[in-house]
Amino acid sequence: MFVNFLLFICGGQCNVMMMIFEERIWVLFKHKWQQTLTYWSVFFSFGLCIAFLGPTILDLRCQTQSTLQQITWVFFSQQFLLLIGSCLGGLLKRTLLFSLTALSLSTLLISLVFAFIPLCNNVVMLAVAMAIAGTAMGVIDTIANLRLVKLYQKDSAVFLQVLHFFIGMGALVSPLVADPFLADDNCVKNGTENSSSNLHHLRSSLAGKGTVLHNVSHYNLHTQGTVTTNISYAFWIMALINLPVPVAVCVLMYRERMLPCFSYSPRLLEPDPRASKTPTESIPADTDQDHRDMFNCCNRSNLQGHPPSFFILHGLGGAVLFITDGIIGSYAGFVYTYAVSSPLSMHHKTAGCLPSVFWASITAGRLAAIYLSYRYTAVKLLSVSLGGVVIVECMLLMLHSSTVFLFLGTCLLGLCISTVFPCMLALTEDILDYKGCATTVLVTSASTGEMVLQVLVGSVINSQGSYSFPLSGMIAAFIGFSFFLLFLYCRHVYRNYHTEEHKSTREAVTQGSS
């Protein structure tokens, strides 16, 4: 099965990690290994969808016989519906049954979309297919994060780092699968002079995550003629690679007695009341008593039960991720455009390596954070990471004419920013005592920032020139760090409120007993 394959892949790393981690973490993992590996595998599907569109967009343009301006709106349809899917995931998280059903359907939809894309003969059909994939990605993003936080609670930081590492794994696999099938020249032949000399340059400019129209508006390729592309095979291979993931989710549902034929059998995750207590009783039970519906968080009774700092923490946590995920999306999307423009004027093949270096450093940073998140608190990791982002962005601005530092800064930026999302998610849920609303808010805010900041940065570059790219990054980094400082202050206020509330409760109990 797919989960056993993942166990084999992770076995060597797990043995090393468990020699470092204390036995309690290993006991937690052994108790919930199948669920954990299943959630990790669905994020592999998420990663597959993130990275394939950039390298294949020119071949898809040929397949749909559309202009570059038309085909790049497919990026927007995916990103916008990813945001909608993140909100939808907050509604489907109410019970474990709903969550696993949504994950199985979403991962299956991704395979179906991969298989359907070769049949899309116009850009509207392709946009609809990518919108469906984006919705599935949003559902996966919210639910997988939520279930892992819910599963491990105060110990979730380590497992969240691994979860986000699997995004990088998927994002590395899909371009490798697609590369042998990409056209080497203009794949729409009309008997006239083609633009194959610019094809590699143009393909690299579209290799970032969610690149928008500003990168390609000045290119004009043929739309009429004979289509010659083999990209269909790449999508069918990716559909097969992803197919074991929904199977793994269904296997988990089978083991948890959630399939219709086991609807009257006791679920494995429900503790047997007749069972004696074991040393692992401290393992968080996978119940849904504390996780409410997304809109139930806004009920009047719930609003009255919390201080203002409770809701401000949600907003500030979301604001930090709005900025940092926006930086990731805009940097990956426009670093190539910045590199080939004056004053750097790098060769397009050299500049084309920058998005890959950035994503590889993010993946490496999340791998290293698996150990760091156990050794250090989330506050320390976030302080170092966000402070590092500010320093790197300032250096990129000051050394804007240095080709060497652009590569070094790209690598350092990816390492620094890689741990922000999982650490911020774990910290916010821990502060708010795992009420279940924070994950939906944070994931939705991150998706919104990724979409909005790309549009803003692209517009600024288009109107003000390439120099505005590092300047925009530096301003965003300072804003994100400021939001984080406000978050820490609000966290202090929220803790003081609970301390005073507990003191007053103890005094009332003491007076009542006397």
Tens of pLDDT along 121-147? 888 999 899 899 989 998 888 888 888
Q: What is the architecture, at CATH level 2, of domain 305-494?
A: Up-down Bundle (1.20)
DSSP-derived secondary structure for 338-355: HHHSTTT---HHHHTHHH
Give me the helices (H) in 179-307, please.
199-205, 231-242, 244-255, 300-304
Where does CATH 1.20.1250.20 sit in the chain?
A: 1-15+31-185+197-215+225-258, 305-494
Rounded to the nearest 5 percent, the helix, strand and coil shares of the chain are 80, 0, 20
> pLDDT (tens digit, 9 = 90+) per residue, 424-436?
988 888 888 766 6
> pLDDT (tens digit, 9 = 90+) per residue, 323-354?
999 999 888 878 877 888 888 888 777 777 78
Instruction: Supply 434's token pair.
Output: 């795992």
User: What CATH number belongs to 1-15+31-185+197-215+225-258?
Assistant: 1.20.1250.20
Is the predicted pLDDT of residue 73 greater than 60, yes or no? Answer: yes
What's the average model confidence in pLDDT over 485-490? Answer: 94
pLDDT at 19: 39
pLDDT at 338: 86
Is the predicted pLDDT of residue 395 greater than 90, yes or no? Answer: yes
Measured over the CA atoms of residue 314, residue 320, residue 321 and residue 323, the dihedral's sign is positive
> pLDDT (tens digit, 9 = 90+) per residue, 97-114?
778 888 889 999 999 999
Instruction: Supply 477's token pair.
Output: 């980094």
pLDDT at 329: 84
> pLDDT (tens digit, 9 = 90+) per residue, 262-321?
554 445 444 444 443 444 434 444 444 444 444 455 555 555 566 788 888 989 999 999
Q: What is the mean pLDDT of the chain?
A: 76
Rounded to the nearest angstrom, the gap between the alpha carbon of residue 90 and the centroid of all alpha carbons in its chain is 15
CB 436 within 8 A of CB 291: yes
CB 424 within 8 A of CB 317: yes
Looking at 16-30, 147-161, 488-502, which range is the least confident one? 16-30
Give the DSSP letter of residue 189.
E
